[in-house]
Homo-oligomer: A and B are copies of this chain.
Amino acid sequence: MKIAVVGLGLIGGSMALVLKQKGFATKVYGVDNQEAHTKKALELGIVDEITDLDKAVAVSDLVILSAPVSACAALLPGILDQVEHQIILDTGSTKMSLLEAANGHTKRGRYIATHPMWGTEFSGPEAATELAFTGRANVICNASESDKDALETVEQLYALLGMYNVYMDGKDHDVHVAYVSHISHITSFALANTVLEKEKEENAIFELASAGFESTVRLAKSSPAMWVPIFQQNKENVLDVLNEHITQLRKFKSCIEKENWAYLSELMEHANKIRNVLDRKA
């Protein structure tokens, strides 16, 4: 199957690598508006040929949209205009703006809204890896709006990546990811700024930072070019969660200020329940 990858970053690049390795992709066309990305992707063997978007859609059987989510939403209607038999999927971290962009289009059925729940704090084609995706969930949203043959091909594609498919309404997806992904990034960015603000002595951070610190600020290395559009697209849900999170932090603050150690202990015991979720996963 001939595949076009639009946006040669961590996700698109990793998908291309694995799909080629597994024989699912016989030829990969790459599209990206950054020359550094297209050059690097060719050099690393992630794509076979660089082309423009129109040609990539015309010659491919399957188009993977893996650019920042706002760019994907802007491109989708134009791509659908051009589609005959092709299948279009996107890998964006929010789904409502894409679903709305496709809504009512005569070729709506050729589009599958997906979100593979994998990523790292690294970006660009040089971050792409064949070791990606395995064992993680891929969310498919509003599956009933897609053509059956297109849906089945995309389900097979994700199964080949070692992922299991989960089905969800797009609206629910965007609420859930605000909780299990977007807020983690905000706290991590804010934590990095907290430490950088006060700890002017970088040496002290460097020497004392333990594994716990590293795991909580790791996501602060993430790319603004990817994350600003996500917070844009999912504004209301992200604000809901952020408000709740500030409320929860204030509870900790109040306990420490008032030396209410019994309630502080209760808050932590409650937080310990997250074990049920994490340990089921492990």
- Cβ of A59 under 8 Å from chain B: no
When the two chains form the complex, which single residue of B204, B218, B249, B269 contacts A215, counting CB atoms closer than 8 Å?
Answer: B218
Interface residues of chain A: helix, strand, loop or mixed (majority): helix
Asked if B248 and A249 make an inter-chain contact with CB atoms under 8 angstroms apart, the answer reads no
A214 at the interface (CB under 8 A from B): yes
User: Are A207 and B274 neighbours in the complex by a CB distance under 8 Å?
Assistant: no
How many residues from A make CB contacts under 8 Å with B?
Answer: 93
A to B CB contacts below 8 Å, 26 in the list: A118-B210, A120-B211, A137-B207, A166-B208, A180-B209, A183-B195, A184-B191, A184-B216, A185-B212, A186-B249, A188-B271, A189-B252, A190-B248, A190-B249, A190-B271, A197-B244, A206-B280, A214-B278, A221-B275, A224-B268, A224-B269, A238-B256, A239-B257, A242-B249, A246-B249, A246-B253
Give chain A's interface residues, CB within 8 Å of chain B: 117-121, 136-137, 139, 166, 172, 176-177, 179-181, 183-199, 202, 204-222, 224, 227-228, 231-232, 235, 238-246, 248-253, 256-257, 259, 261, 264-265, 267-278, 280-281
